[in-house]
Amino acid sequence: MINQPAPPAPDSPSIAAEAAHDVADGARDASHEFAHDATGTGDRWTIKRLLGWTSNFFRDKGFDQPRLDAEVLLAEALGCERIFLYTRFDETPDESILARYRDWVARHAEGEPVAYLVGHREFFSLEFRIDRSVLIPRPETEHVVTEALDFIRERGETLTVADVGTGSGNIAIAIARHAPQVTITATDISASALDVAKQNAALHKVEPRIRFLKSDLLKAVIEPEHFDLILSNPPYIGTSEKWTVAESVVEFEPHGALFSGTDGCEMTERLIATAARRLEPGGRLIFETSPFIAGRCLELLAAMGAFAAPRLIKDLAGLPRVIRADRLD
C-alpha cells in the first residue's frame, strides 16, 4: 500500500523541486553542525540529547513520526532494542556509532526511508529483512493477512494458498506463522525480491512450507493447478498519478511494485483474470488496492462473471483498501 495524500497543483513542479533542494541543503547543513558538536567542542551527545535533537530536526522537515524515526535509527546504530534507549539516556555513544547515526540522519532527511537504512521493518508483529529490491511492508497490507486468516479458519481444513507478487514475503510468511495447516506458493517476477523473501522465510522458520517461484503472476506455477485462496498486493498506482506519490517513495522503492499502467488497473485486471482460472470453486481472491481505483476493480470483477458479489474492506483511515471475492461454483 502506498499513501497518496491530497497533492499540490500538478502545474507547480518548480515549487516541489525548490522544496526538495531546500531539504537536501538543510540536511547537509544540519549534518555538518551535528558532526562539529559531536567532536566534543560542545555539550556531550548523550542518547537523550541525540533523540531530542534528531526528533526536532525531523519534525522541522515535516516527517510524520519524527521521534519514532530517531529512536529506530539510534537503536539500530547502538545494536539494541528501542525500549533500552530509555535506560541509557546519560550514555554517550562512541564516535563510530555517532558517525553511523549522523550518516543515517542526513540520508533520511534527504528522503531515504528509515526501513531501507536499517534493513528491516515490522509487519504483523514480525520482523522482516528488506532492501531496495522490495516494497516496504505497510500496516494497511495487514488487512489482507487478517482477511485470509479469517477465511482459513472458516474453512477449517488444509488449504492451498498463492501469494502473487510476494516481495519480501511478508504476506505469505505471516500466514504461514499463524496457519500451519496451509501450503503456500509465493511468486514474484523479481529474482532479487525472491532472495529477500527466502531469507525471511528462513528467519521465521517457515521455509519448508512455502514454495517460492519466479513467475509472472501464476504462469510458471504448474502444480497445484487450482488454489483455495489467492492473495496479492499488486502494483496499483497509475503512471498518470506518479506526481501524487511522495518523492521518497518514487526515488527509493521499486517501480515494478508501485506502478501499473496509466490508470493503475493493469496488473489488477490480469490478477482477476488469473484468479478466475486458477481458483477452486468457492475459493477466494483477496487483494489490496487504492481508494482511487477500488470502484473500477469492482467493475472488473463483475465483468468477469466468475465471482460472487465482492466485499470491500476499509482500512483504519476509513478508505477502501482491500477487496475479496469468492469464485462461483
Q: pLDDT (tens digit, 9 = 90+) per residue, 240-258?
A: 889 889 999 999 999 999 9
d(CA 105, CA 72): 11
pTM: 0.88
Residues in the chain: 329
Would you place residue 3 in the very low, low, confident or very high pLDDT band (cuts 50, 70, 90)? low
- Whether residue 21 is predicted with pLDDT greater than 80 in this model: the reply is no
Q: Hey, what amino acid is at 126? A: L
d(CA 92, CA 55): 17
Task: Give residue 131's pLDDT.
Answer: 98
Task: Give residue 156's pLDDT.
Answer: 87
Average pLDDT, the chain: 90
pLDDT tens for each residue of 289-312: 999 999 999 999 999 999 999 999
Name the residue with cell 489467492: 230
- Pull the grid cell for residue 106: 542526513
- The helix (run of H) or strand (run of E) holding residue 147 is helix 142-155
User: Residue 18: exposed, middle, or buried by beta-carbon count in 10 A (0-12, 13-18, 19+)?
Assistant: exposed
Task: Give residue 32's pLDDT.
Answer: 57
- Whether residue 323 is predicted with pLDDT greater than 50 in this model: the reply is yes
- Whether residue 34 is predicted with pLDDT greater than 80 in this model: the reply is no
Would you place residue 8 in the very low, low, confident or very high pLDDT band (cuts 50, 70, 90)? very low
Task: Give residue 30's pLDDT.
Answer: 55
Average pLDDT over residues 28-54: 70
Percent of the chain with pLDDT over 90: 84
Q: What are the C-alpha distances in Å from 184 to residues 168, 174, 190, 212, 303?
A: 15, 11, 18, 9, 29
| Phi, psi torsion values for 129, nearest 5 degrees | -75, 140
Q: What are the C-alpha distances in Å from 127 to residues 117, 130, 284, 302, 309?
A: 15, 10, 27, 37, 35
pLDDT tens for each residue of 269-295: 999 999 999 999 999 999 999 999 999
Task: Give residue 43's pLDDT.
Answer: 73
- Whether residue 204 is predicted with pLDDT greater than 90 in this model: the reply is yes
- Whether residue 197 is predicted with pLDDT greater than 70 in this model: the reply is yes
* Alpha carbon of residue 239 to chain centroid: 19
CB 145 within 8 A of CB 166: no
Average pLDDT over residues 55-82: 97
Task: Give residue 29's pLDDT.
Answer: 53
Look at strands 160-164 and 183-188 and give their pairing. parallel
Question: Which comes out higher in pLDDT, residue 221 or 22?
Answer: 221
